[in-house]
A = this chain, B = another copy of it.
Amino acid sequence: MALWFTENQSENVRFSFRVKEQLFHGKSNYQMLDYYDSYEFGRVMVLDNIIMLTEKDEFIYHEMIVHPAFMVNPNIKRVLIIGGGDGGTLREVLKHNVSEPELVDIDDLVLKTAPKFIPFTGKALEDPRAKVMAADGIEYMKTKSNEYDLIIIDSTDPISVGEGLFTKEFYKNCFNALKEDGILINQAESPFYYEKQFLNIYEKLNSIFPIFSFYSAPVPTYGSGYWMFGFASKKYHPLNDFKADSFDLSTMKYYNTDIHKAAFVMPNFVKNLLKR
């Protein structure tokens, strides 16, 4: 067997895994979509040749993009996910007692294929408790005001399709769409390869929200493996308002209460980056 998938993590770094079988190849109006079955990582979803998730490590990313916010405000009911068409973030949101979570992903092809090719995340998209829409998150957000307890931006990288989900205007619309104690979580790239994008997120969100912190988790199949999330909040502080006993976390595979606190700790090189 000599079939390999290769991602260019940067111009000068490549990450490859051995493929059992290409399960699907398609092109939507927005991007190229591939599903693979792999030896090391199980099923893998790829957009425009960038790994979006693998069966082996998606639990880290999806637990970490969802649960910290709920442990800070256990009363979150109204949730909006922008992107996240693979269904993993929605699956984790549905572990909480929420009221019809909404998911808006621009790419209908992703939404239609994920339940079949990556059912471990994709079948959440068919859950009758959720409202899943194929629509432009940027436009959708312009119509909303004072509505959500939690918005999660589960986007691709800030290039091509995902670019508009990293602008100041979009973040301001998210701010307006949140209630007065609302929280915004976004996937925030890595400070190791993508320093500029990382700082860009910081400058924008930090200027709009009264409370902003990064938190980190290891995601082995993302560039550098050292991945960041942004926690932007109108009222609740991610550590001072942390409520350790809010939920039963025993079924989590990555997240626990100590991990919550540890994830917000930043090493000196990141602190120094943010000081500049």
A positions within 8 Å CB-CB of B? 4, 6, 10-18, 38-40, 57, 59-60, 192-193, 216, 218, 220, 224-226, 249, 252-256, 258-259, 261-263, 265, 267-269, 271-272
**Cα–Cα distance between A15 and B225 once the two chains are bound (Å):** 12
- Shortest CB-to-CB span from A1 to chain B, Å, is 9
Inter-chain contact A254/B267, CB cutoff 8 Å: yes
Inter-chain contact A265/B269, CB cutoff 8 Å: no
**Cα–Cα distance between A192 and B60 once the two chains are bound (Å):** 12
Instruction: Chain B residues near A216: list those with CB within 8 A.
Output: 218
Instruction: Chain B residues near A17: list those with CB within 8 A.
Output: 12-14
Inter-chain contact B15/A11, CB cutoff 8 Å: no
- Shortest CB-to-CB span from A270 to chain B, Å, is 9
**Cα–Cα distance between A60 and B11 once the two chains are bound (Å):** 23
Instruction: Chain B residues near A226: list those with CB within 8 A.
Output: 218, 220, 225
Taking A220-B226, A262-B262 as known contacts, 18 extra A-B pairs with beta carbons closer than 8 A to each other, sorted by chain A number, are A11-B39, A12-B17, A13-B15, A13-B18, A13-B40, A14-B17, A15-B15, A59-B269, A218-B218, A218-B224, A218-B225, A224-B225, A225-B226, A253-B267, A253-B272, A259-B265, A261-B265, A262-B263
